[in-house]
Amino acid sequence: MPVRPVLVLAALLLLAAAPTATADPYETVTVAPAGSIAADGTVTLSGTYRCLGNSGPVFVSSSVGQKSPSVRHGIGGTQAVCDGVEHRWENTGKPSPGALEPGAAHVEATVMELAPQGGLPLPRFHASRQQDVTLTEG
């Protein structure tokens, strides 16, 4: 398995297991109101983020759900730069065939750092957002 999907999977597992933390209000993540889904099922989501300071690698992860509120599909991960400036993120992924289709969907985007704590990388959340979007053919 390529490294990037493994990192995204690890980040999603850590997100599910980690307690919720309150982020600095200056740190933000947005989700564009429309994403795209290609004929082969590849989904592209995007938005912006801003974060401040980090001691470990930081990623913008995203997931999307559509048919069932309890089923989410991880859509890529983008390495983030925490310099206090707003940056654009774009994640692309290909869920199982037929899992998603054009139309209404629900996206969650999270800016998460793998901060070293006692030799182990533990999640530190910078920002998170959930938003309804429209997946368009593209």
pLDDT in tens, 51-64: 998 899 999 999 99
pLDDT digits (tens, 9 = 90+) for 87-109: 999 999 999 998 999 999 999 99
Task: Using a cut of 0.85, tell me whether the model's pTM lies above it.
Answer: no
The torsion angles phi and psi of 15, rounded to 5 degrees, stand at -60, -40
Confidence at residue 69, expressed as pLDDT on a 0 to 100 scale: 81
In the chain, what are the helix, strand and coil shares in percent, each to the nearest 5? 10, 50, 40
Three-class SS state of 4: helix
DSSP 38: -
Instruction: Tell me the residue type at 28.
Output: T
